[in-house]
């Protein structure tokens, strides 16, 4: 890190910074500029709290030089990581194939779920999604079927052969969800829930980690680092939109995170354009764009009857819209030298 | 809610909306404007999912009319709520007295904590703060002393008579923390952790609920509603800054939320300017401003030796700075017809 | 618009709203809900100031129903507008062909500009860019060559046959710039400069209108409406990134604006990923994504020697990087049924 | 500045950076850390374009060390600047007295303006405000009376003795407005309009410079530097809210900018809570907070009949509300050792 002193700071203030740097077992290097003095700190300072230095008299600010994450960094692991979504299948994310995770926002009903699962499989999905536990901002709304939903997901996997992805919302759900699901999703609201990150880091299931609404890239990669450090190297990053002043979308979907993640980390990244925009009509364009920008997959909501969906109907595609979107996405994938996995068979 | 149809929508599309509104057991009222048709929906639609209507063909958008929260609303409960921080003491928030919650960011060491607790008490604090469990973005940094920290907090309460406020980070900590602390804090990262909100809603301790980094006001009040609805009416709201493009602060502290909360809700609101700005030098000005704007209290970090604080040193006040700030805050409190509670005695 | 009354408002307050609505020559329609009363206002209220109603006692808020723009709306003009960049050439934006506006950020030197103009032409660019007047945040930095720069641009047009796009920064530059350039660019900083919008609206040159850093979509389309209303229907919208809390980019590039603009307006939209991200390494991915999402073109910075560019070197492509990007973009354009215009010939 | 190299960069890449630094006539200082190399650049690099270095292979990012502004900096000018609003009067901003600039948003009518001017004077205002030229997002709304409005302002000054503040929107208005007004206001939309900043910098009138909606603090102070550098040292900064995701306000008012400006610059800063929040009901609380936080003044909208205001009625105070607010603000000013100027006489 670099400690930038205020202009006109006193010699004792610089000395104090140097002393604290040495207390941290780091090396200091003082550079006296024409207007300001900076103290360059040499050594691995990831484990040090830089606010200690920020609070010293005469210090203007402290600029970190090293990225705060290490194992999630491409520097440590130059090859891109490919993550299998379920052992014994070829469903994976991070390789040449673009992965498509599809299904309704939440599991509402056994018969309907099994039906839509079959539909998205035939249209080429790589994996199934569906919430059994739903985090709802509003306590008065549908909160999911719980374990019954997990059983339905498992049954859908049996019938389709597709791995299932579902959210785990709290520590005491981890074992239960891991018993049924193939991939554990950590939702936006939990990206900073470090206890939960560590708990899923102790399972052997791949983790789908959604970015927080206002998380910085460093924080997103650090959340992945929490999981990896707990023993689970299989983290799929998922961008799902950030909060900004924009009002024609529910969230702003920043696709430039795709090249940024590819540069900084070896982990795969997928895009969730349904939550990322809030509007079904924008989903196909954003899926095509994500693939063109280099995303490793997309996650979309498909519902037979969006008008009667219990959650997020406004951002769900009909099977017909999903079919069209898959065709378009395949064409774009080929244009960028990739492939959308699965075999698309038209819905009868 | 008001369903705004797209210009030139078809009659069948309006009919479909009307049909869905009736399925929801709500009344419809179609208004044909010069350019657009809107369907006004009459009845309590808080429990209904408006995205169902948003997904209908011909619908442009759906505008909610009722606030999504109800019990947290001033409409339901016109008088301001005053919350006792500990039975049998006069420490409270929401009345004429401004409450000052002070102490280090985290409990680091028994001796030092007891010492600073005594100092802030003598300088007029209403309650003590200190983290036993610390949510850290970075897995490599100090995570708190855990139960040992809680014991130290309880001991500090014995010595000073001041109630203690500390964070509970996950479901399985609730009972443990409630055993020691007087007030349970829900941190920014957990404002959307609904399971946790419900769990603390089942305790009999007052809850200090911090606003999420990117939460809207409605979502903040809905999070309070989660707690109240679970049986615990004692929720103190706490603003601690939001994420914006500003770079001279760690977060942007939006003090206009004070009059907004006072208008919309009966719950008290306090301000945390340390996290709200990230810089100790801004804390006194923001505390004075909060009091002037009508806040019911402030929460500040005070540390004997900010340079050696294990967490958040850069935003901690020294006891001397805290003393000065208390004097200034008292003057402002009087100017707006309020009072800073506690008895200030200078540190020897 | 819909005037939402506060809960428990008085009858006189509703009456006052009705009276004011009638003073505005609009019709009122009062709907008494179970908890709130709303007054639906019927008629074209675009020309009315809704803050008048917002300031009435008992009013909670006023919700606009009509979009504030009219001539820029797709409703008024269902067919997409195709804009010729220069009469007598086939360079256009808004049709099947994707337009590529390329060149250095600013015109720095005659010889170098003519050289790079030839290079981008050979690689398939549709039009040339280059700033003669540069808005610089910092008064100490290069401000552009002024009229000399315009002459160089005109010479480059003669040599390459490509139309030239350049920024006009203030009223008194309008005639001068219009004398030389084919397309007048209104920069981000001037999107809200209404006098300037009206002035360029009186020229016969197409306008490239960049979105403001924090403009809402409505405001962006209203800025276009200012130009069109002044007599110039040829407005090309350009998204160039917004200010958010993201720190790995200079700005956040919200590509979902592409489907939003296509739905709301008949005007073409292009993307500027160089300013939209601030990093050359992200430009190719964002260009591919923009095309996949349905953009009508891209605007990119190409410089022979980015290290010696006087402005924005960090976001400029080398000719080699531009060549690769053009190939990739063509493939994506074909995948979405479009075409990148121009004939690509490799640089010798 | 500090050039941070990527991990594993090549020696030639570092050499290239060093070479470019020397070409800029600056000194380099290479520091090889355990994981990364950084090149510290010594000398005044304010006039250099750091994007040149950012575009070099092997460079991760460039961190500026010096603030980009110089004459606006407190470092250069340690004493706070006090600015007279009109020669020969004691109306000033930046001293012990808090300045209150009050009046309607725009000048709508001679009789009404003279009346409200008298009212706010009697209630203790320091200066009058009122727009003669109004920047309106919407081309269909009232744009101001133009020169007629300026004449009315001048007449109001004659009658009340209070200096008048009004906005200048474009270059060709500068001389006209300077002929009538005492203080020239640069609006939010023009903070980045550098030509206009330079033009008002050549007048001898004090400038009231509003912060842009998404401007960073550095950019705000650089805009002031543009004016000062053109010859006019009298710049009053004005915070008027930024665009964020918050929805209960029109803009988010970040009062922490007050201590930040006081630390970084010698220029006075005032607050505009009407635009800063968009709601009249929040204005008094935000004025009190601004004064408590150390602001040098406030700017508020007062209108006899907000319901019939042609612009911004929703954020205008009635004379009664203004009177109450002045009393509250005086009390807070005294609590922080300052004084609200003017003599308050109650309205009959």
Is residue D307's pLDDT more than 90?
no
Residue A43 has pLDDT above 70, yes or no: yes
Q: What confidence score (pLDDT) does residue A342 get?
A: 60
The predicted structure's pLDDT at residue D343 = 52
Q: What percent of chain C has pLDDT over 90?
A: 73
Mean pLDDT (whole number) for A186-208: 94
Q: Of C194-208, D56-70, D203-217, give the lowest mean pLDDT range.
A: D56-70
pLDDT surpassing 70 at residue D152? yes
pLDDT at A295 over 70: yes
D137–C219 C-beta distance less than 8 A: yes
pLDDT band at B54 (very low <50, low <70, confident <90, very high): confident
Q: Which residues of C touch B75 (CB under 8 A)?
A: 7-8, 35
Q: How far apart are CA A120 and CA A140, in angstroms?
A: 30
At residue D139, does pLDDT exceed 70?
A: no
Q: What is the mean pLDDT of residues C18-34?
A: 91
Cα C341 to Cα C98: distance, rounded to the nearest angstrom: 6
Measured between CB atoms, does D263 come within 8 Å of chain B? yes
Q: Tell me the per-residue pLDDT of C177-197, one tens digit each, with 9 for 90 and over.
A: 999 999 999 999 899 888 899
Give the DSSP H or E segment for A3.
Answer: strand A2-5
pLDDT score at B278: 92
Cβ-Cβ contacts under 8 Å for D243 (sequence gap 6 or more):
A245, C214, C243, D213, D214, D251, D252
Whole-number percent of chain C with pLDDT over 70: 96
Read off the pLDDT band of B98 (50, 70, 90): very high
Positive or negative torsion for Cα B51, B55, B58, B61: positive
Instruction: Provide the 8-state DSSP code for B81.
Output: P
Per-residue confidence (pLDDT) for residue A309, from 0 to 100: 76
Which tops the pLDDT comparison, C146 or B345? Answer: C146
Q: Is B75 on the interface with C (CB under 8 A)?
A: yes
> Sign of the C-alpha dihedral, residues A48, A49, A55, A58?
positive
**CA atoms within 13 Å, Cβ hemisphere of B98:** 32
Hey, which residues 147-186 in chain A have their CB within 8 Å of chain B? Answer: 169-172
| Exposure of C66 in the CB half-sphere (CA atoms within 13 A) | 24
Residue A229 has pLDDT above 80, yes or no: yes
Nearest CA in chain D to C23: D308
Restricting to B residues 282-321, those with a Cβ less than 8 Å away from any Cβ of D are: 282, 285-286, 288-294
Distance from the Cα of C347 to chain D's closest Cα (Å) equals: 22
For B91, what's the count of Cα atoms within 13 Å in the CB-facing half-sphere?
A: 26
Is the confidence at residue B348, as pLDDT, over 80?
Answer: no
Q: Write the pLDDT tens digit of every residue in B261-302.
A: 999 999 999 999 999 999 999 999 999 999 999 999 999 999
Q: How many alpha carbons fall within 13 Å on the CB side of residue C183?
A: 33
Give the model confidence (pLDDT) of C259-297 as tens digits.
999 999 999 999 999 999 999 999 999 999 999 999 999
pLDDT at C237 over 60: yes
- The answer to whether C111 contacts chain A (CB < 8 Å) is no
Per-residue pLDDT tens for B212-252? 999 999 999 999 999 999 999 999 999 999 999 999 999 99
3-class SS of residue C71: coil
For chain D, the chains sharing at least 3 beta-carbon pairs closer than 8 angstroms are A, B, C
User: Which residue from C minimizes the CA distance to B3?
Assistant: C65
Interchain contact, B334 vs D334, CB within 8 Å: no
Q: Which residues of A touch D43 (CB under 8 A)?
A: 33-34
Task: Give the model's pLDDT for residue B67.
Answer: 86
Mean pLDDT across D276-301: 96
Contact residues, chain C, for B35 at CB < 8 Å:
44, 66, 75
Find the mean pLDDT for residues A169-183.
93
Question: C252 and C66 in contact (C-beta within 8 Å)?
Answer: no
Q: Is the pLDDT of residue D231 over 70?
A: yes
Q: Between chain A and chain C, how many beta carbons pairs sit less than 8 Å apart?
A: 136
**The pLDDT of residue A67:** 86
Q: Which string of DSSP letters, residue by residue, matches D199-260?
A: HHTTSSS-EEEEPPTT--HHHHHHHHHHHHHTT---EEEEE--B--S--SSSSB-BTTHHHH
Mean pLDDT, range C141-158, rounded to an integer: 90
Which of the four pLDDT bands, split at 50, 70 and 90, describes residue C348?
A: very low
* Confidence check: pLDDT of A344 > 70: no
At residue B341, φ and ψ (nearest 5 deg) are -75, 170
Give the number of C-alpha atoms closer than 13 A to the C-alpha of residue D80, restricted to the C-beta side: 17
The pLDDT value recorded for residue B345 is 45
Residue ranges and CATH numbers for the domains of chain C are 2-63 (3.30.70.1140), 83-340 (3.20.20.70)
Provide mean pLDDT across the span D38-57.
Answer: 85
User: What average pLDDT does the segment D194-198 reach?
Assistant: 90
Best interface-test mutation with C: which of D55, D133, D137, D141 has the largest number of C CBs within 10 A? D55
* Count of C-beta atoms within a 10 Å radius of residue D73: 19
What number is the average pLDDT over the span A88-94?
93
For residue range C54-111, list pLDDT tens digits in order: 888 899 999 988 888 889 999 889 999 999 999 889 899 999 999 999 999 899 899 9
Q: Which residues in chain D have their CB less than 8 angstroms from residue A9's CB? A: none
Say whether pLDDT at A347 is over 50: no
Q: Does C139 touch chain D (CB under 8 A)?
A: yes
Which secondary structure element, helix H or strand E, spans residue C156, and what is its range? Answer: helix C147-160
For the stretch A128-162, pLDDT in tens is 999 998 776 666 667 788 899 999 999 999 999 99
Question: Chains that contact B by 3+ CB pairs under 8 Å?
Answer: A, C, D
Would you call C256 and A285 a contact, using CB atoms and an 8 Å cutoff? yes
Residues of chain B in contact with residue A58, where contact means CB-CB under 8 angstroms, are none
**CB spacing of D306 vs C55 below 8 angstroms:** yes
B342 pLDDT band, cuts 50/70/90, is low
Q: Is the pLDDT of residue A47 over 90?
A: no
Q: What is the DSSP letter of B2?
A: E
Helix, strand, or coil here: A296?
coil
Residue-level pLDDT at A86: 95
Question: Which of B45-49, B255-259, D266-270 is least confident?
Answer: B45-49
Question: What confidence score (pLDDT) does residue C347 get?
Answer: 45
């Amino acid at each position: 890190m670099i400690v930038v002193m205020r202009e006109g700071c006193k010699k004792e203030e610089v000395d104090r910074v140097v002393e604290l740097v040495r207390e941290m077992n780091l090396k200091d290097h003082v550079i006296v500029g024409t207007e300001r003095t900076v103290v360059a700190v040499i050594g691995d300072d990831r484990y040090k709290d830089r606010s200690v230095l920020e609070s010293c008299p005469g210090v203007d600010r402290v600029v970190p030089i090293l990225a705060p994450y290490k194992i999630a960094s491409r520097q440590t692991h130059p090859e891109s990581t490919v993550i299998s979504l379920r052992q014994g299948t070829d469903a994976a994310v991070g390789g040449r194939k673009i992965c498509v995770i599809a299904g309704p926002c939440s599991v509402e009903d056994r018969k309907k779920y099994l039906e839509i699962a079959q539909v998205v499989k035939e249209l080429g999905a790589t994996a199934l999604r569906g919430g059994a536990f739903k985090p709802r901002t509003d306590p008065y709304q549908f909160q999911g079927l719980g374990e019954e939903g997990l059983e339905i997901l498992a049954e859908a996997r049996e019938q389709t052969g597709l791995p299932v992805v579902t959210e785990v919302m709290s520590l005491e759900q981890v074992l239960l969800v891991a018993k049924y699901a193939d991939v554990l999703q950590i939702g936006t609201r939990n990206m900073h829930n470090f206890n939960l990150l560590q708990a899923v880091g102790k399972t052997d299931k791949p983790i789908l980690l959604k970015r927080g609404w206002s998380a910085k890239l460093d924080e997103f990669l650090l959340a992945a680092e929490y999981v990896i450090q707990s023993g689970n190297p299989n983290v799929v990053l998922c961008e799902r939109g950030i909060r900004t002043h924009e009002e024609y979308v529910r969230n702003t979907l920043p696709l430039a995170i795709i090249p940024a993640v590819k540069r900084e980390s070896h982990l795969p990244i997928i895009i969730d354009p349904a939550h990322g925009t809030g509007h079904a009509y924008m989903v196909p364009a954003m899926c095509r764009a994500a693939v063109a920008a280099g995303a490793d997959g997309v996650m979309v909501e498909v519902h037979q009857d969006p008008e009667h969906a219990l959650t997020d109907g406004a951002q769900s595609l009909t099977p017909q819209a999903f079919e069209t979107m898959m065709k378009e996405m395949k064409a774009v994938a080929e244009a960028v030298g990739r492939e959308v996995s699965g075999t698309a068979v038209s819905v009868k």
